[in-house]
């Protein structure tokens, strides 16, 4: 399955990328599993996407849970807690 | 329910006039304006950059205003949020609500702001004498949202990240 990844604010800066397309292995089906899959890249990916790290996730531009299912062509975003207003 | 994300400044008086134009049933207008302070957590702030998530920002604000409409009998609501470079004294955000009577407008305006602070994808990066830094989310913002019976999104393992009401969990 191919999905689009988006990164914002401190997460974008730490990873050095704002957006990329990625091919997921068959066993990766949820937003939480995408996070885990990306952690396996190691280095800064393991650090920034670590469990317990304050991180928000969205799928198709709606706030997502780790259990939210991903689908072909969807947009999955990772970002820090928001600080607008 | 107009929602605007823009780099330009806004004029409170002109925006409120437009919001209540041709709405003779309106008896109350409540407007909140958020502005840039020159100090945060004991450090001088020379300026800031506001980043957002185009598309999701607008969608989340529409959900937030929709929630306010479902809870209170309001006539209309307006949200303007600026992005890009800002400096102390600049206006950042405007939330204006019109209703027949003041109670609904006061409550809905505060609710929209509390919700926006924890759910709308905006991020502030401040310029300080020690360099640029991303602003950390405040626990008090989560507490403010909790007053309305809404549990904010929380990080961590086993995370059941709160979604906006009306969304699938």
Q: What is the pLDDT of residues B130-169, one digit of tens each?
A: 999 999 888 888 888 888 888 765 433 333 333 334 333 3
CA distance B123 to chain A (A): 5
> Which of B120, B155, B156 faces A82 most closely, judged by CB atoms?
B120
From CA B94, how far away is CA A79, in angstroms rounded?
24
**Would the CB atoms of B153 and A64 count as touching at under 8 Å?**
no
Q: Across the interface, do A9 and B123 touch by the CB < 8 Å criterion?
A: yes
* Burial class for B17, CB neighbours closer than 10 Å (0-12, 13-18, 19+): exposed
Q: Do B81 and A54 touch (CB under 8 A)?
A: no
Structure confidence at residue B139 (pLDDT): 80
- Going by the DSSP 8-state scheme, the letter that residue A30 receives in this structure is B
Which CATH architecture best describes the domain B3-146? Alpha-Beta Complex (3.90)
ipTM score for this prediction: 0.94
- The pLDDT value given to residue A52: 87
Question: Per residue in A41-55, pLDDT tens?
Answer: 999 999 999 998 999
- As a residue count, chain B comes to 169
Q: Which two tokens stand for residue B129?
A: 């004498």
Spell out where B9-115 has E strands: 28-35, 39-40, 43-44, 47-52, 74-82, 84-86, 91-99
- Alpha-carbon distance B12 to B147, whole Å? 28
Q: Where are the domains of chain B?
A: 3-146
Please determine, looking at this structure, whether the domain spanning A2-79 carries the CATH number 3.10.20.30. Answer: yes
Angle, nearest 10°, between helix axes B139-146 and B102-119?
Answer: 140
CB–CB contact A58 B156 (8 Å): no
Which pLDDT tens digit goes with each residue over A28-85? 999 999 999 999 999 999 999 999 899 999 999 999 999 999 999 999 999 999 999 9
**Tokens standing for B72?**
């209170």
């Amino acid at each position: 399955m191919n999905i689009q990844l988006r990164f914002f604010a401190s997460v974008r800066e730490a990873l050095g990328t704002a957006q990329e397309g990625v091919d997921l292995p068959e066993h990766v089906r949820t937003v939480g599993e995408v996070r885990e899959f990306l952690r396996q890249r190691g280095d800064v990916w393991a650090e920034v996407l670590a469990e317990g790290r304050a991180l928000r996730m969205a799928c198709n531009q709606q706030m997502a849970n780790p259990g939210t299912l991903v689908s072909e062509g969807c947009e999955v975003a990772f970002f820090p807690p928001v600080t607008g207003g | 329910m107009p929602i605007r994300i823009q780099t330009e400044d806004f004029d409170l008086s002109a925006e409120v006039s437009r919001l209540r134009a041709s709405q003779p049933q309106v008896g109350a207008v409540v407007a909140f304006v958020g502005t840039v302070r020159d100090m945060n957590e004991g450090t001088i702030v020379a300026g800031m950059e506001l980043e957002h998530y185009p598309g999701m920002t607008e969608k989340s604000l529409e959900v937030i205003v929709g929630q306010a409409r479902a809870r209170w009998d309001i006539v209309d609501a307006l949200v303007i949020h600026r992005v890009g470079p800002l400096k102390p004294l600049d206006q950042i955000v405007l939330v204006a609500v019109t209703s027949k009577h003041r109670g609904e407008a006061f409550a809905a305006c505060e609710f929209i702001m509390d919700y926006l602070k924890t759910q709308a994808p905006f991020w502030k990066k401040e310029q300080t004498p020690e360099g640029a830094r991303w602003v950390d989310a405040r626990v008090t913002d989560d507490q403010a949202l909790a007053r309305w019976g809404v549990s904010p999104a929380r990080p961590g393992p086993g995370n059941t990240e709160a979604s906006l009401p009306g969304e699938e969990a």
